[in-house]
Amino acid sequence: MAYNPDILPDYKGFSKEYDKRRDASTDRIISQVVALETASSEIQTERDKQWNQVKKKYIPKIKAMIAAEGKPVVSHIMQKTGLTQYRTYQLISAIERGDE
């Protein structure tokens, strides 16, 4: 049988109190999760550090080559920098996105 306040008069207001406590607990849990997610998103991984170093080192060189040639010529960029084709395309797309 489900809870019915008419059958158990001693428990009047039980639902309202339960709802308040449940809402408070939910808010507390959500705020803890958000705090953890925010903290973990601010941590820079080793991979991110390496990518930022690559961008810092090669983006100015690639920009200079693009300015000199008028457009990105992947084969020239690869020859002059020693980067792989994959990495070259990553850096060119980073430049185009403005993610420098």
Say if residue 38 is in the same domain as residue 51: no
Residue 40 has pLDDT above 80, yes or no: no
Q: What is the mean pLDDT of the chain?
A: 86
What pTM was computed for the model? 0.55
**Residue 37 and residue 74 share a domain:** no
Residue 40 tokens read as: 């973990």
Q: Are residues 54 and 77 in the same domain?
A: yes
Tell whether 72 and 93 lie within a shared domain.
Answer: yes
Same domain, 36 and 68: no
**What pLDDT does residue 24 have?**
93
Report the percent of the chain where pLDDT is more than 70: 88
pLDDT of residue 23: 93
Instruction: Report pLDDT for 16.
Output: 83
Q: Is residue 23 part of a domain?
A: yes
d(CA 54, CA 77): 14
pLDDT of residue 54: 93
Query: If you average pLDDT over residues 71-75, what whole number do you get?
Result: 88
Name the residue range of residue 27's domain. Answer: 9-42
- Do 36 and 50 belong to one domain? no
CA dist 20 to 3, 5, 9, Å? Answer: 18, 17, 20
